[in-house]
Every structure is written in C-alpha cells, then in structure tokens.
Amino acid sequence: MSIEVTGLTKTFQAPGGDVHALNDINFSVKTGQFISIIGKSGSGKSTLLSQLGALDQPTKGEIVVDGQDITRLSGSAQTAYRSKKIGFVFQQYNLIPNLTAAENVMLALEFGGVPSQQRHDEALKLLASVGIDEDQAQRRPGKLSGGQQQRISIARALANRPSFILADEPTGNLDTETGKTIFKLLHDLSRSHDTTIIVVTHDLEIAGKTDHTYQLKDGKLINYKK
C-alpha cells in the first residue's frame, strides 16, 4: 500500500489556545517500505499516526492511500479502511485482559468477517507466526510477559492481513533485547508480506535499521540525518 501525504495539518483547540500538532506535513511511502518516525514527546507522532489510520480527521491536507484520499471517505468507508487495511500496534498492547491470547486474536478475526469455525485455528496459526505456542495461546495477557503480549498484539494486528501497519512506540515498554526481537518481527513482515509499516520510536538504534527515518519537530516533518 502506498501513501502520499500532502499539506497535512492538525490543529487542536485547547483552553490555552490552538495547538498546532501537525503543520503542513508532506511525505510519501512506497508499498512494502518500512519507515520510522522519531521526535520528542509532544512533537505530534501519535497525532500523525491517528490521521494516517483515519482515527481522527485532519484540519487540512490529503492522505492518498493507493490512489484514494482517505480524509474524504464517509464514516462507514473510514471504518472499513481501518478494519480491513490497517493493523494497529500500540505501546500499551491494548489486549482485552479477561480474554485469552487466542480469544483476543479471534475477536479481531470476527470483526474481519472470518467464519466462527475457522477462527480458532487461524488465531493459533497467527500466534505461532509471531512465536506464541499453543500453551501460551490459552493464557490471559496478565499471565504473559510484556514481550509476549506485544507479540499477541502484533498477531491481532495481522488478523485481517493488513497492507499497512501503524505502530506507536511498540517497543517502548520492553527491555532492549525484547524490543529488538519485536522490531525484527515487524521488519520480517515488511519483507515477507510486502506490508507497509510506519513505526514511531524513541530508539535511534531501531530507527537506524528502517528504510528511512523522519523526525517530527514542532509539528514539522523533516528528514532525519544521522
């Protein structure tokens, strides 16, 4: 999936005055590219991912995904875009605590319209692909390590075979070694499935291994120079 962002601007109205979270952002990503975005806290990274994932409506600008401007889609078309094309991965995993790992993935498969009798096998297959075995698949998130929980959230993000993965500080809660394996997992996905990935990270070592790194600074996107 290719992405072409033009003049993307997001201004929040806050009690203390307008916050210019994104200020005339322009960039493009080719199908299968793995892009990282770095920037200080409050520089607009999560806001940018929200606009790309149609979780929020920009103030101005275009986000053309495979030839279609997603900012102009109807509400239901945006929902379909989110659920069918995009996999979200967050720092906090966002797993449902009273469901097992397998059930968390099965729920995503249900939203994606996979028939009920296929969901369990499909969930186990997805979990195996990220290194979660059948025993771990039957456990609830609270009985698994942070790295294992992030693997499950990646399996869940993959449930609907997204062509585009948006990851917001996916290794932020993990130790360096586990962060590296999670990152490698994402990297392998972009290579083996031609999945386009945009990852927000604080970790410069991780960012340095992606195809290209951008830096957000006061709502402006610039090429990051090492």
Ligand X SMILES: Nc1ncnc2c1ncn2[C@@H]1O[C@H](COP(=O)(O)OP(=O)(O)O)[C@@H](O)[C@H]1O
Return the one option of Mg ion, ligand X, none that residue 71 interacts with (CB less than 5 to 8 A, by type): none
Question: What is the smallest separation between the CB atom of 45 and Mg ion, expressed in angstroms?
Answer: 5
Rounded CA separation 199/88 (Å): 10
- The label of the residue with tokens 């996905």 reads 189
Which among ligand X, Mg ion, none contacts residue 12 (Cβ within 5 to 8 A by kind)?
ligand X
Task: Give the residue nearest to Mg ion (CB).
Answer: 46
Q: How far apart are CA 204 and CA 162, in angstroms?
A: 26
Minimum CB distance to ligand X smaller for 49 or for 197: 49
Cα gap 127→125, rounded to integer Å: 5
The answer to whether residues 51 and 23 touch, using CB atoms and an 8 Å cutoff, is no
Nearer to Mg ion, 46 or 195 (CB): 46
CB of 6 to Mg ion, least distance (A): 23
Residue ranges with strand state E in the chain:
3-14, 17-29, 34-38, 60-65, 68-69, 86-90, 164-168, 196-200, 212-217, 220-223
Interaction site with ligand X (CB under 6 A): 12, 14, 19, 21, 39, 41-47
Judged by CB under 5 A, does residue 100 bind Mg ion? no
Q: How far is the CB of 97 from ligand X (least distance, A)?
A: 24
Report the sign of the C-alpha dihedral through residues 172, 178, 180, 185, in that order: negative
Judged by CB under 5 A, the chain residues 35 through 54 that form the site for Mg ion are: 45-46
Comparison of 22 and 124: residue with beta carbon closer to ligand X: 22
Residue 190, interface with Mg ion (CB under 5 A)?
no
| Residue 201 binds to Mg ion (criterion: CB under 5 A) | no
DSSP track, 54-81: TSS--SEEEEEETTEEGGGS-HHHHHHH
> CB of 11 within 8 A of CB of 17?
no
Contact partner at residue 42 from ligand X, Mg ion, none, CB < 5 to 8 Å by partner kind? ligand X
Binds 39, which of ligand X, Mg ion, none (CB < 5 to 8 A, cut-off by type)?
ligand X
- Whichever of 1 and 221 has its CB closer to ligand X, that residue is 221
Taking the complex as a whole, the smallest distance from the CB of residue 38 to Mg ion amounts, in Å, to: 12
Bridge partner list, 9: 60
- Find the shortest distance in angstroms from Cβ 14 to ligand X: 5
Q: Can you read off the two tokens belonging to residue 3?
A: 């992405």
Interface residues with Mg ion (CB under 5 A)? 45-46
